[in-house]
Structure 1
Amino acid sequence: MGRSFLFLLLLIALPAAAQIYKYTDANGNTAYSNQPPDGVTAQPVDLPPLNSVEPQAAPAPSAQNAASEQPRQAYEVLELTGLPTTEALRANNGTFTVNVLIKPRLQGPHLFRLLLDEQPYGQPVNVPILQLVNIDRGLHSLAVQVIDGETVVQQSPSVTFTVQRVHTP
């Protein structure tokens, strides 16, 4: 096994144009070398040609194809859930949670950032359950962004809702 490993190693290490010689050493072992040894009869070994693969150039995209492609979004689904759309959200202290539906899962360095009335709200987080605190009563819009640092990767559609807070005198 050791000799065949040595032979394979020699085949890999030598340049394609090098000649390999086979001979029997003083101990009667078959040996291979890239130079015939002095005083020993060596036979050249005919090796089959090496396999090679020529790289193929990728076809250049045509201007028409590039113009028709739309930018690919990182996430197939990105939307807010848990907000009523047909009735008011009852939150006496203005505190409530919303969920983010995202497919596939949030990737590595990406974070969620809420936009309340088109302004960033709270700190970016990596969990899909977001809490809003002490939101004034009235009509609001809410969206979620996936961000990478300060770069917006993708933004959900805005959801319009009404917060209803009971005021006691």
Structure 2
Amino acid sequence: MRLIISCLLLAATLPAAAQIYKYTDANGNTVFTNQPPDGATSEKVELPPTNAIQIQPPSQPTDAGASADRQAIYQVVELTDLPDEVALRANNGTFSVGVRLEPSLQPGHRLRLRLDGQPYGQPTHVPRLQLMNVDRGDHSLTVDVLSGTNVVQSSAPVTFTVQRVNTSSPALRPPAPTPRPSN
């Protein structure tokens, strides 16, 4: 494709490199042509050399901020304070998790959780994030490092189980006191 375009451009410049003649026609008009006229006196026009530029290879648009964001700038991005083997007891479904980053959070970056693959909460610069009213059962949690709305880096997903005990369950009520006989 490049070869074809180069040949077409070269062919378009060939007439510009040809000799130019100038003469005055019978009506007094000045005429420029690439062939000397028959029966009229003409003069050769000396043109200055044409400008030439080197063909530059196409380059990808660069955005210094975006290219820095695409690189893994954090050696460690992980969630902390989630139980590995046992269920997380949170009767009202509210608990907090920590985020470990190495190096520390860069200026302009924010943290946001993804609960079960969906963004959760507002982006923040605080490495301690709270979850509220999470349903009982199995969940996956990931933390994303954001630059604006772009995800710079993400932690590995952590799977955990939330155990919510219903405190109004009859099984959890203390036994009713036995009445004492009256004397």
TM over 0.5: yes
Match of 2:140 in 1: 141
How many residue pairs align between the two structures?
A: 99
Indicate the SS of the match to 2:91. Answer: coil
Match of 1:127 in 2: 126
What is the letter of the counterpart of residue 98 of structure 2? N
What is the letter of the counterpart of residue 93 of structure 2? G
Q: Partners of 2:112 and 2:96 in 1: how far apart?
A: 14
Deviation at 1:120, TM superposition (A): 0.3
Ranges in structure 2 where 5+ consecutive residues have no aligned partner: 1-69, 170-183
Q: Partners of 2:71 and 2:95 in 1: how far apart?
A: 33
Match of 1:109 in 2: 108
1:100 maps to 2:99 = yes
CA offsets per residue over residues 51-101 of structure 1, 9 Å max, x none?
xxxxxxxxxxxxxxxxxxxx7411000000000010000000100000000
Which has more radius of gyration?
2
Q: Partners of 1:116 and 1:78 in 2: how far apart?
A: 16
Match of 2:54 in 1: none
Runs of 4+ in structure 1 deviating by more than 4 angstroms, as ranges, are: none
Superposition TM-score, scaled by structure 1 size: 0.57
Ranges in structure 1 where 5+ consecutive residues have no aligned partner: 1-70
* Identity between Structure 1 and Structure 2 (%): 60
Indicate the SS of the match to 2:86. Answer: coil
Counterparts in 2 of 1:146-157, with a 5 A limit?
146-157=145-156
Q: Partners of 2:88 and 2:105 in 1: how far apart?
A: 28
Match of 1:88 in 2: 87
Superposition TM-score, scaled by structure 2 size: 0.53
